[in-house]
A and B are shown apart, each in its own frame.
Chain A
């Protein structure tokens, strides 16, 4: 049992990493990775939202939509769930850490449209995960997202002071770095 869950966690964090292997959630990945602190804040906020949204969408799907034969409403209901969870998180963050709220700024509401969040909710349904599996899957996806976001922002902080050739400066070198990271993460294939 425990082995099964840790394997699921490992496979979502490393092998099927949502950003670098499944290419979901690239917008915050490029947008918020300029500074390490911002990236950590974004990672923490996304981890919270993603885990909660994954569990909430599981409950909504299995206890409201399935009994009523309304599976076809899953996308719109999941979007509703995600929007509410994000809004809730924003209120909590504004209360507990105004600076993080200012730093995350527009990116916090943007978690709503982070396709990784909706992706996790829909994949949970597709893969017929049970409650615990959904929670682990959402948490693993979020940890994977945070991991690559933090790694990537550390690299970009180093790149900011590096002597990059003119044509590759700015976003271009960021894209190249992301590509190389993606290649590296492909190396985890077959681990689980």
Chain B
């Protein structure tokens, strides 16, 4: 049998190539089982950078769906709550050019939280249903209130309120959350670059 194979170069070539392919196929099959990945890891990293307001201003039902859309090539400038900082972070993560915030989806507002004027609240529960992060407490025909630390400032509860008793209040700057302003961009620092643009 072996003599027969050796005396037939064509057969030997065929067997060698097919055998090689089979071995390599087995190795790859084993590796694909061994190194299996669940989900889309890049979408996880994008989701970590998004502000998690779940506000839906980007046109997606929450931050996670938007992160998956970005991983599939959606533009990165559709997140008003995250604003400039989020766009910069996404741009450096994905190695793309940072774009200015898309005007269609709204503008960047200072971080704020919802406040219910409690004596005007009629207890209709509509804002509770609208809240994406369950930050509003209360039940039917009883006064509602907002857990400030849970509120992401997404504005979604303002619209459904029939008596307009919800205010958006800016988070005050205190010693705990005050930050230095970002320095000017590198392009603006160098005189010759400024002259060009």
Contact = CB atoms under 8 A, between A and B. Distances in A.
Contacts of B85: none
Contacts of B19: 64
B120 to A, nearest CB: 50
Nearest to B71: A102
A73 B186 CA distance: 56
Contact of A88 (B6, B17, B27, B36): B27
Given A68-B6, A77-B17, A80-B24, A99 B45 contact: yes
Could you say which interface size class chain A belongs to? 20 to 34
A95 B36 CA distance: 7
A76 interface: yes
A84 B12 contact: no
A80 B27 contact: no
B20 A77 contact: yes
Contacts, number: 64
B88 to A, nearest CB: 16
B35 A102 contact: no
A94 B17 contact: no
Binding site of A, secondary structure by majority: helix, strand, loop or mixed? helix
Contacts of A99: 42, 45, 93
Nearest to A105: B95
B35 A95 contact: yes
A91 interface: yes
Interface string B111-139: 00000000000000000000000000000
B37 A64 contact: no
Closest 4 CB pairs of A and B: A98-B41, A95-B35, A84-B24, A91-B35
Interface of B: 6, 9, 12-13, 16-17, 19-21, 24, 27-28, 31-32, 35-37, 41-42, 45, 93-95, 186, 192-193, 196
Interface of A: 35, 38, 60, 64-65, 68-70, 73, 76-77, 80-81, 84, 87-88, 91-92, 94-95, 98-99, 101-103, 161, 163
